[in-house]
Amino acid sequence: MLEIANGIRHLPGYLERAGQQSLVEIVRGIVAEAPLFIPVMPGTGKPMSVRMTNCGPLGWVTDKERGYRYQATHPATGRSWPAMPEPLLDIWNAVSDYPLPPQACLINFYSDDAKMGLHQDKDEQDFGAPVVSVSLGNSCLFRVGGLSRNDRTQSIKLASGDVVVLGGAGRLCFHGVDRIYPSTSTLLKNGGRINLTLRRVS
């Protein structure tokens, strides 16, 4: 376990290959029920470069008119999100140090040219619970800063099977993904990266 900064913990290689593979299968099942959507920025409607879906009682969504929020249904199908799978609950229970289960798992699909700008995860009501992130597929350059956008940042590589816990003083730190490193993993047939973030919302 490596402490990156401010209570942000990096657990390299937390999941072994078999665990990674079974999570990819689970994610494919979720996507079949709850198709990926392209999130857009509130106000401008500018599309992000990742594609998303969710599982669990709540899912994180965004659109031009109503902005960032959690809701119980898929924005296109209107159906409830697929259930939170047991292996993700196991990870949460092992690393979150929080008594209640996660209510949302945001699933981000990065193609090899996708990235995610520096942001805070602050659409939740409960900042006492950490955000737990699981990386699958190609490695990425993950950037973490402080509580203000202009704070100094540091960058670490996240590889397939790595878990990051944004908790405690690090819960509201700015973070983002600067780039994906193509061909750094054989886990996903078509390359790219999947990131799962487990969140407690209320």
> Which residue ranges make up the site for ligand SIN (CB under 6 A)?
106, 108, 116, 133, 142, 175, 177, 195, 197
Of 194, 14, 199, 197, residue with least CA distance to 94:
14
Are 168 and 7 within 8 A, CB to CB? yes
Q: Which residue number places its CB atom closest to Fe ion? A: 121
- Rg for the chain, CA atoms, rounded: 16
The letter for the amino acid at 22 is S
Q: Which is nearer to Fe ion, 121 or 162 (CB)?
A: 121
133 binds, among Fe ion, ligand SIN, none (CB under 5 to 8 A by kind): ligand SIN
Sole window of 2-10, 49-57, 90-98, 121-129 interacting with Fe ion (rule: CB under 5 A): 121-129
Q: Does 121 bind Fe ion (CB under 5 A)?
A: yes
- Answer with the entry of Fe ion, ligand SIN, none that 58 interacts with (C-beta below 5 to 8 A by kind): none
Q: 185 and 159 in contact (C-beta within 8 Å)?
A: yes
For residues 156 and 173, is the Cβ–Cβ distance under 8 A?
A: no
User: How many residues sit close enough to Fe ion to count as binding (CB under 5 A)?
Assistant: 1
